[in-house]
A and B are shown apart, each in its own frame.
Chain A
Amino acid sequence: MRTRAIVTGFIASALVLGPARAADPAVPSPSPTAAPSAEADISDTAARLELAKVLTYDKKYAEAMDVYRQILATEPDNLEAKIGLTEVLYWSGNSEAAAATLKGVPEDKLDDKGKLMLADLFVAKKDYEPAIRIFSTYLDRKPDDWAVRLKLADVQSWTKQYPEAIASYEAILKARPHDRQVRRKYGMVLSWAGQNEKAAEQLRQSLNE
């Protein structure tokens, strides 16, 4: 039987640990079961990327951009920095500069986050066809990402691809039948497609839910 010393401060708290909980970190850590290696060190670039994310979460967009640009000054091909900078520019309302940041980056080099960011930029420029292609390709692999499917449905409706848009809204409503906003959009698109009776039923239902 082992005995435990009476200790104070944070050490005492270690003795009353609760159940394991996976953190949802804004910045990474390997896993709850992996101890940080004493030898492991972080590169300045990796630390700057984490700092830029923290600044972004704190809505300090100008400072976050500065940090991303510092990284890109020494590593012009750093994709994570490019995507991060693109996001911050986009959220700051500067979609042209955001698009310019991603210009020249081959689409196949981008991860999902980067590709979806690119699609959003196409939407912002009203260049809908490449956005539809990116959203559709992504949804082939992740069909349950309803937020992205909603973006696809919206863009399909704006480009008058009504059968496709209707199919997209129906897929979302099958998974989320009580989503009033989606049902309302679905009703509107049905009316644009000339299916007025069905549209009225959906709009009525969206008011009752």
Chain B
Amino acid sequence: MRLAKCWLAADRSDKAEIVLTHLLDEDPKQLWAIKLLAGVYQKTQQAAKAVPFFTRYLALGAKLDPPAELQLARIYRQASLYDDAAFYYLKAAEEPKQKMAAEVELADLLSWQGRYDEAVQGFRQVLAAEPANRQARLSLARVLSWAGYYQESEDEYRRLLAKP
């Protein structure tokens, strides 16, 4: 474990990956190694490789804290596993501190699925609770334009540009 962490501290993800893979070959149920290796893949933008290790980590009964749930949602999204991403966005949204971020990202994900009406509803829900959320208002303006609701989109851009 120490060696793997040393390599990570030295920003040598490639070396850490070798050490952790070797450790997991010897004992596939080492939770800390699974989590660390998943983190290595996440850090190096290899979401498709990270997903199986997170899945194994959860299957072994480990729990994720809310920030990790949000990260996992992002990893599933990067891996184009949108259904799983949505599930973890919902889990992450249960934690008040990251509720808004999770709901904005979920609505954004819906917009990319072409589910414009649901996405609009999601962004409006966020803005009802947090009217100054610029990210949500910008995303709402964009989705409205994609859906062809130009007047409403214009209104949201103008609200975004209006100084508070």
Please list the residues of chain B having a beta carbon within 8 angstroms of any beta carbon in chain A. 47, 73-74, 77-80, 82-83, 86-87, 89-90, 93, 101, 104-115, 118-119, 121-122, 125, 134-135, 138-139, 141-142, 145-146, 150-151, 153-154, 157-158, 160-161
Q: How many residues of A contact B (CB 8 A)?
A: 42
Q: Is A10 a contact partner of B104 (Cβ separation < 8 A)?
A: no
Q: Is A32 a contact partner of B112 (Cβ separation < 8 A)?
A: yes
Nearest chain B residue, comparing its CB with the CB of A33: B78
* Among B80, B93, B135, B146, contact of A20 (Cβ-Cβ < 8 Å): B80
How long is the Cα–Cα vector from A50 to B143 in the complex, in angstroms?
12
Residues of A within 8 A of B105 (CB): 35-36
A interface majority secondary structure: loop
Q: Is B146 a contact partner of A17 (Cβ separation < 8 A)?
A: no
Please list the residues of chain A having a beta carbon within 8 angstroms of any beta carbon in chain B. 2, 4-5, 7, 9-11, 13-15, 17-18, 20-29, 32-36, 38, 40-42, 44, 47-48, 50-51, 53-55, 57-58, 60
Q: Is B112 a contact partner of A58 (Cβ separation < 8 A)?
A: no
Q: What's the least CB distance linking B17 to chain A, in Å?
A: 22
Q: A10-B118, A23-B111, A41-B135 are in contact. Are A54 and B78 (CB under 8 A)?
A: no
Residues of A within 8 A of B160 (CB): 42, 47
Q: Is A10 a contact partner of B150 (Cβ separation < 8 A)?
A: no
How long is the Cα–Cα vector from A28 to B138 in the complex, in angstroms?
11
Q: Is B125 a contact partner of A9 (Cβ separation < 8 A)?
A: yes
Residues of A within 8 A of B134 (CB): 41-42
How long is the Cα–Cα vector from A53 to B119 in the complex, in angstroms?
21
Q: Is B107 a contact partner of A20 (Cβ separation < 8 A)?
A: no
